[in-house]
Amino acid sequence: MNAQLLNIYRMETQMETTRLLRSPGFAIPSLLFPLMFYIFFGIMFHVGGVNAPTYMLASYGTFGVIGPALFSFGVGIAVERGQGWFDVKEASPMPASAYLVARMGVSLAFSLVVIASLFLIAAVFAGVRFELSQWLLLAAVLFAGSLPFCAFGMTLGLYLKSSSAPAVVNLIYLPMSFLSGLWVPINFFGPNMQLAANFLPPYHLSQLAHKVVGGDLGGSLWYHLGFLLAFTLVFLFLALKAYNKEDK
C-alpha cells in the first residue's frame, strides 16, 4: 500500500470523523447511551446473585460497540445514498475502498471511546478490579467484535431507504440487544428465550466478553467465534452484492 493511498484513507477518515462529530444525533446516543445504561443497571441497580458492575461491563461493552457500527454504516450510508452523496463519492477519483475504510475507522474510533469510558466508570465508580491483562483482553474482544456489526450495518445501509433507515436500525438494534441478554442477564429468561438468543450475534459477542470476566454460560469459545465469523461472511457477501447493484 503506497503512501498516497494511505494519505487518502487518512484524509477521508478525518473528514468523516469531523462530519459525525457535528451530527449530535449520532455522536451523543452512541457515546452516552451505553454509559447511562451501565450506570443505572450496573451500578445503581444490583441484581441479586450477580456481580452487577463486572457482569454488566461485559454486556454494555458489547452494546456500546454495536451502536457505532450499525449507525455509522447502516444509517449513514442509507442517508448519503438518499441525498445523492453516495453517487458523488462513486463518481470521484477517490478509490471506493477509502469510503468504506473511513466509515470503519470512525466506527472503531467511537467504539474505543465507548470502551475506555466504560472501563473508567467501572474502575473509579463501581470498584471493578481486573488484572491489566484482563482489561486489555476485554478491550480487544469488544474492539474486534464490532467488525461483524460493521458488515451488518453496511448491508443495511445499502438496502434500506434513507427515510426508513433510522427507525429500522433502532428496531433491530434495541430488541436484538435485549433478547441477547445485554440489558438483563440471559439466565433470567425462560428456556425458549435463552435458546433464541443463540441465533443473535450480540449474544455470542457478549459471551466472549463474559469469558474474560468470568460470567459466561460455559459455551465453547469456537462456537461463538464460528457464529460471528459466519455472520460476518454472510453480510459481507450481501453488502458486496448490493454494492455491485448500486454501481451499475
Instruction: Check residue 186 and report its DSSP letter.
Output: G
Among residues 64, 216, 212, the alpha carbon closest in space to that of 131 is found at 212
The dihedral sign for the CA sequence 66, 71, 72, 73:
positive
Cβ atoms within 10 A of the Cβ of 112, count? 16
Burial of 166 (C-beta count, 10 Å sphere; 0-12/13-18/19+)? middle
CB 201 within 8 A of CB 183: no
Q: Residue 237 has what pLDDT? A: 94
Type of residue at 40:
F
Interaxial angle between packed helices 52-69 and 132-145, expressed in degrees from 0 to 180 and rounded to the nearest 10: 30
Q: Residue 211 has what pLDDT? A: 94
For the entire predicted model, the pTM comes to 0.90
Q: Which tens digit of pLDDT belongs to each residue from 145-178?
A: 999 999 999 999 989 988 888 899 999 999 999 9
Residue written as cell 475504510? Answer: 101
Rounded to the nearest 5°, which phi and psi values hold at 200? -115, 125
Integer Cα distance of 183 and 157 in angstroms: 26
Q: Residue 246 has what pLDDT? A: 62
| Cell reading at 11 | 484524509
CB 89 within 8 A of CB 247: no
Each residue's pLDDT, cut to its tens digit, for the chain (248 residues) gives: 577 778 877 787 887 777 776 766 666 777 888 999 899 888 876 554 457 889 899 999 999 999 989 987 888 888 878 877 767 766 776 776 777 888 888 888 889 999 999 999 999 998 899 999 999 999 999 999 999 999 999 999 989 988 888 899 999 999 999 999 998 888 888 899 999 999 999 999 999 999 999 888 888 999 999 999 999 999 999 988 887 776 55
Q: Is 98 left (phi over 0), alpha (psi -120 to 50) or beta?
A: alpha
Cβ atoms within 10 A of the Cβ of 185, count? 18
